[in-house]
Amino acid sequence: MEEGKKIAMDSTTSAPKSKKKLLRRRIWQQKELILLVLPFIIYIIVFNYAPLSGWLMAFQDYRPGRGLLDQEFVGLANFKMLFSDASFIRVVRNTLAMGLINLILGFVFSIGFAVLLNEVKNKHAKKFMQTVSYLPHFLSWIIVTGIVLDVLSTETGIINQLLMTLHFTDKPINFLSDPKYFWWIVGFSNVWKSTGWGSIIYLSAMASINDELYESAEMDGANRLRKIWHITLPGIKPTIFILLLINIGNVLNAGFEVQYLLGNGLVQEVSQTIDIFVLKYGISLNNYSFATAAGIFNGVVSIVLITLGNKLARLAGEESLF
């Protein structure tokens, strides 16, 4: 009996030691990869996590010129004032609406474009179309909004000229001064700029689908649409779910540049986003505590959305982030 107890104790004490040895061995075997990742981890800590100390301003009556810890603490007063401000509620509505439009249109157009490109059999034509579709991603929003202003111009804009030629309207429509068009202008501006770039990952996922599946489907008499529906889309479903989860967390990051550059006094009620709200109160009005509270709200909502999306994906048996 005593010998059996000794053997059992030896086995329990040796198990952690063997695990530690195995961990050290794996770290040593992957030391090059760890060293490559280390600069990026340091970068994230310095530029993403270290600035979070500024969140203290949301709980203070912050006044520039004094240290962060020397400010007067006011608790949740800034958050109470934030949620009682009608303009902030309107800003959240605008941000959420534009974020959802960007999310839905971005996914639909990126996946659709990737599917169409995947069906192009001529390699030279496919590469040319890919290159042309990627280029808008590298343009600054100043250039993109300039193009949008020209396209929607009431005098020389191609959209108004086309509508009048087809007799859909008798006179030019001033799209940028009508609030009902603004969210969709922002959405399709994002689509034009990001569809080609967003399709890259989907094209990579499609390239990993076994060609034998398409050959078998063709032998069974399946046409192109049926092969897309039953092979291509199910083959990239894990990729779609992962990207959807990542982008759900960015719903309230609907953008700043395009709304700021295209916005004007006539559409101000629908063009203001949380980022513009933070800029207005934080810099223009020097109310840093109020602006920081709005920024914290944005971050917390993003974390909640991505956590809920991740749990729903796991419950559905799909790919999840964590």
Reply yes or no on domain 77-315 having CATH 3.40.50.1220: no
Task: List where CATH 1.10.3720.10 sits in the chain.
Answer: 77-315
Q: Report the alpha-carbon distance of residue 157 to residue 165 in Å, rounded.
A: 12
Give the pLDDT confidence score for residue 69 in this predicted structure. Answer: 81
CA separation for the pair 57, 63 (Å, rounded): 9
Q: Which two tokens stand for residue 187?
A: 């959405």
* pLDDT value, residue 153: 92
What pLDDT does 305 receive? 87
pLDDT recorded at residue 16: 65
| Predicted pLDDT at 28 | 87
Which of 155, 156, 147, 143 minimizes the C-alpha distance to 185?
Answer: 147
pLDDT in the model for residue 39: 93
- Tens-digit pLDDT profile for residues 23-37: 888 888 888 888 999
Please give the structure tokens belonging to residue 168: 């859909």
Q: State residue 306's pLDDT score.
A: 86
Q: What is the rounded distance in angstroms from the CA atom of residue 15 to the CA atom of residue 11?
A: 6
So what's the pLDDT on residue 13?
Answer: 53
Integer angstrom CA distances of residue 130 from 39, 62, 112, 118, 123 = 32, 50, 13, 10, 10
Average pLDDT, 10 consecutive residues per value, the chain (322 residues): 50 64 86 90 92 89 82 90 90 93 93 92 89 91 93 91 90 91 94 92 90 88 89 90 86 87 89 89 83 89 86 77 72
Question: Hey, how many other C-beta atoms are within 10 angstroms of the C-beta on 66?
Answer: 11
